[in-house]
Amino acid sequence: MRRRRAVVTGGAGFLGSHLCERLLQEGYEVVCLDDFCTGTSANVEHLLEDSRFRLVRADVTDYIHVSGHVDAVLHLASPASPIDYLQLPLQTLKVGSIGTLHSLGLAKDKRARFLLASTSESYGDPLVHPQPETYWGNVNPVGPRGVYDEAKRFAEATTMAYSSACGVDTTIARIFNTFGPRMRPRDGRAIPTFIGQALRGEPLTVAGDGSQTRSVCYVDDLIEGLVRLLRSDTAGPVNIGNCGEMSVLQLARLIIDLTGSSSDISFVERPQDDPTVRRPDITLARTILGWEPVVDVREGLRRTIEWFRSESVGVEPVFVPLPSEPPLLADSRVG
């Protein structure tokens, strides 16, 4: 029988690398495309010994070609943290628009199922709480976060257009805050920032008064949700996230407790358009996919802290340059 084959854009990133790993476990051949704008080959280095895995340096905003059959295209390519999309606004807009068009074009050409990794940021600073998939959101299109929020909203609209106009088999996952091993220590998101500061004994920098809330999901649970969505016949969008909610200040104090750190809390200016609340309504995921998170947040944080310690990424200040192209990488024409 022909082995299933998946293309994962942004596959060397935090979420993408975990997804590549899981798809291999599911029996897929995996073609991982990444331009290493924010991803790194180190995230998938352990997969290179598997003959079913191929790592390709490619920018999906350029022309992409994959020869042979493809059963699934999973589009995860995009800067995903505030520090990244504020530094890379045009790249963020291009990968959400042109990159999505190219990825959908590949799925159309191969008659493959297409999964878009969208985001809870499509809800903006929500006025409905918790957020169901039927909520249209409250996004500032001209604010500093608009480049990411609107890129993902455009990507969703494009995905639905390819489904209705071209008959492409598509689905959309709206991913809420996710954490776990392989997060970049200085990507600007709260959990890696807090863990690094705690391990170095520095004050944890909490934005505003810390009363804004987040619902954080361990990466293994998130990936399980994506795989179930891929297997399903639902078009989505479907919220994938943990409906347990806590304030950012509570999260900081929990990380101090779990690391055994002597760090204090330092309050800093809150960024513009920073969401006040964030909590998914996962009724649809429970009903259609039979999915909900199973890893307790404390346990997930323990695993993540242990990874940071084992990699020594939180102990000393770290500067990680963008990786150069490893010799094993192919060009953007994938055989």
Domains and CATH numbers, the chain: 5-334 (3.40.50.720)
Q: What are phi and psi of 45, to 5 degrees?
A: -55, -35
274: closest CA among 216, 218, 186, 214? Answer: 214
Cis, bond preceding 144 (omega within 30 deg of 0): no
Residues of the chain with pLDDT under 50: 316-335
SS3 of the chain: the string is CCCCEEEEECCCCHHHHHHHHHHHHCCCEEEEEECCCCCCHHHCHHHCCCCCEEEEECCCCCCCEECCCCCEEEECCCCCCHHHHHHCHHHHHHHHHHHHHHHHHHHHHHCCEEEEEEEHHHHECCCCCCECCCCCCECCCCCCCHHHHHHHHHHHHHHHHHHHHHCCCEEEEEECCEECCCCCCCCCCHHHHHHHHHHHCCCEEEECCCCCEECCEEHHHHHHHHHHHHHCCCCCCEEECCCCCEEHHHHHHHHHHHHCCCCCEEEECCCCCCCCCCCECCHHHHHHHCCCCCCCHHHHHHHHHHHHHHHCCCCCCCCCCCCCCCCCCECCEEC
Return the structure tokens found at 309: 């310690």
What is the widest separation between alpha-carbon atoms in the chain? 58
Q: Which residues are catalytic?
A: 148
